[in-house]
Homo-oligomer: A and B are copies of this chain.
Amino acid sequence: MRPRLAAAASAFVLAVAVSVGAASRPGAAGPLAADSAKVAAGLRDRIASGSHASEWVRELTDRAGPRLAGSPGDRAAVAVALEMLRTAGFVNVHAEKVTVPVWARTSESGQITAPVSQILALTALGGSVATPEGGIEAEVLGVRSFDELEARKSAVSGKIVFFDVPMERAKDGSGYEKAVVYRSEGPSRAARMGAVAVLVRSIGTDTNRLPHTGAFEYAADAPKIPAAALSIPDADFLARWLARGKPVRVRVALACGARPDAESANVVGEVPGGAAPDEIVVLGAHLDSWDLGRGAIDDGAGCGIVIEAARQIAALPTRPRRTVRVVLFANEENGMAGGKAYAAAHAHELLRHAAALEADSGTGRPRGLSWNAGPPAAPLLSQIAGLLEGLQAGHLTAGGYGGVDISPLILSGVPLVGLEQDESTYFDFHHTANDTFDKIVPADLDRATAAAAVAAWCLADSPGPIDRIPPEKRKMPW
């Protein structure tokens, strides 16, 4: 999943005029005690110079591999994660049961059948219904926008609609939001006009013949038609055939679909706080992944970041004020059941959740933090940003929801923080078979881990309460 809302629209940068030296200056003045800021700076420098973050990713992805909610890999991942959190030295390590929706693919194929016969590399979008056995064959209508679809509405009936909208590469991943609507909304929009199936140009920035899957949901008022993503070279290929002007026919065969719900789990472990152990700072990532790759960048990387950040905090001679709770969420990719289950199961203690931070942006260097809290929290965030300047990661973005899994906590006003990373190459691999351990860049992941540890420490050790999201902003983003 990982859709993101237009936080950028309200983005601003809390200027930190003088770059803070990595070792010498522990951070601008702010609510944190000087000693506490010094601890944060030490964490930052130690982790950035080398950590175990990528080892956690390797262990998870080698042992559990693909781990779509409810799959055998997902069950393996829960066991591996429990073991890893114990190895990391956390306390209160346990699994919290989550009932997850299950979707599975068995086989898939596609080809142009006229005017030539050519195989297309495609993959079913997560949540798609199957085609009839033998597939669906129809003429293709290619469009480059919803406006064009609307303009050609009368030609849609009986066709396979092909959304051919390239995604732009960007450090902040902003190309994703613009393009992903064709995956999330395209199938039902085309179905309402009588399309028999949908093909989407993969939402990605690579040129590999490895299509990008990802979730979508059928609108209640639209027929459920099969939907698949073409690899980017195959999208270009189909577009060139369409540009020749003759009718182009495609056959697509998808064996996939929903299965009965299954049991999975959020996996939890804690670094107990000193002065206020009942107050909690959640450090979250998601344990599940799509089925095509091994979930190394999405979101093995986030798991590695939060486990290692918390482990480094646990290894300090000083405890933070509050408890740091690592939560590896179930079913982020196709249902968000883990995030919802956490919010429900912990409803009684959400008022004692001082903050939640999520890491779900891959292996790239940290850029900064998004944050959503009461305005009086700004000086604390500014102080954290000052500490992150030593990693060139002092960029603050106001707004957003921190991450998909922690987003339900918005309803209780829990301050939400998102770790923002360089996503320049993230969408080369995202949701493809290529999401494997070799894509992890250990030095960059260490820096991201350092940023997460600094933020977690500061949120957990700030002396006063962190102002909660104002009631009028406590709305789910979707």
Contact = CB atoms under 8 A, between A and B. Distances in A.
Contacts of A65: 116, 118-119
Contacts of A266: none
B241 A62 contact: yes
Given A76-B116, A117-B72, A439 B62 contact: no
Given A62-B237, A240-B62, A241-B62, A439 B118 contact: no
A210 to B, nearest CB: 6
A236 B438 contact: yes
A209 B438 CA distance: 11
8 contacts: A58-B240, A65-B119, A208-B210, A209-B433, A233-B437, A236-B437, A237-B294, A237-B437
A434 interface: yes
Contacts of A293: 209
Nearest to A116: B63
A269 interface: no
Nearest to A292: B209
Contacts of A207: 434, 438-439
B434 A209 contact: yes
Nearest to A207: B438
A124 to B, nearest CB: 16
A289 interface: no
A121 interface: yes
A66 interface: yes
Contacts of A58: 240
Contacts of A240: 58, 62
Contacts of A436: 209, 233, 237
User: In the assembly, how many copies of this chain are there?
Assistant: 2
Given A233-B438, A237-B436, 8 more contacts: A62-B241, A66-B119, A118-B294, A207-B438, A208-B208, A209-B210, A209-B293, A210-B210
Nearest to A291: B119
Contacts of A434: 207-209, 233
Contacts of A432: 209
Interface string A364-379: 0000000000000000
A208 B293 CA distance: 11
Q: Which 4 A-B pairs have the closest CB atoms?
A: A233-B436, A209-B433, A65-B118, A207-B438
Interface in A210-239: 210, 232-233, 236-237
Nearest to A293: B209
A58 B243 CA distance: 13
Contacts of A439: 207
Nearest to A117: B72
Contacts of A119: 65-66
A65 B439 CA distance: 30
Contacts of A117: 72
A117 B75 CA distance: 12
Contacts of A72: 117
Nearest to A76: B116
